[in-house]
Amino acid sequence: MQISAEALHGISGATTLSVLVHIGGYQATALIDTGSTNTFLDNEFVRKAKLPVQKTGTNTSLVAGGGQLISEGHIPDCKFRINKTNFTQDCKLLPLKGYDMVLGANWLTVHSPNYYDWAKTSISITVNGEWCALMDRVVPMRKNIISAKACCKLLNNGAHAFLIRIPPPKEQPDQQQEVPPQVPDTVKDILDQF
């Protein structure tokens, strides 16, 4: 078994997209990942959702880029829903950092053929002979403004973010502050706009 570094560390990559999944009465974030051979569930999420686990003994998963993770259980025929479509998949348990679930190559194979639209970051899979389109949940469909409290909750749940604070202009707009040399040129270009 192999798991991609993106799946393990909770980051998106060029060959991944994330979707919201409903499993065991809980909403979860799943990464659809062509770089992972199997479908995995996070140990902590499984405990929180009180999903029934079968102990399997020790199974080793290789992490892309080096390293190994130990799985000591799985959930056979795990039922979950994405949008309005129901799925069933065997899931191995691993300590994942940023996602509750990883839908790997074994899941993609069951739902072949599939079509990945790189421009729209969406994937269309086949379910019972019908096409089912899944959009990446992190690609903004519209402007989303969230509160600081909601932002903190996302960050506490493993979301990744970058923040640039641009202070309000001073009273004397003709005077520019000297930008320290360690600030990258892209930030300097942004600051020059103000």
Model pLDDT, residue 189: 57
Cα 93 to Cα 20: distance, rounded to the nearest angstrom: 19
Residues 6+ positions from 131 with CB-CB distance below 8 Å:
124, 125
Query: Is pLDDT above 90 for 14?
Result: no
Q: 61-72 pLDDT, tens per residue?
A: 656 666 666 677
Backbone angles phi, psi at 22, to 5 degrees: -110, 120
Backbone angles phi, psi at 108, to 5 degrees: -65, -35
Place 142 in a pLDDT band, splitting at 50, 70 and 90: very low
Sign of the torsion formed by the C-alpha atoms of 4, 8, 9 and 15: positive
104 neighbors 37 (Cβ within 8 angstroms): yes
Under the phi-then-psi rule, with left for phi > 0, alpha for psi from -120 to 50, and beta for the rest, what region is 25? left
Model pLDDT, residue 18: 86
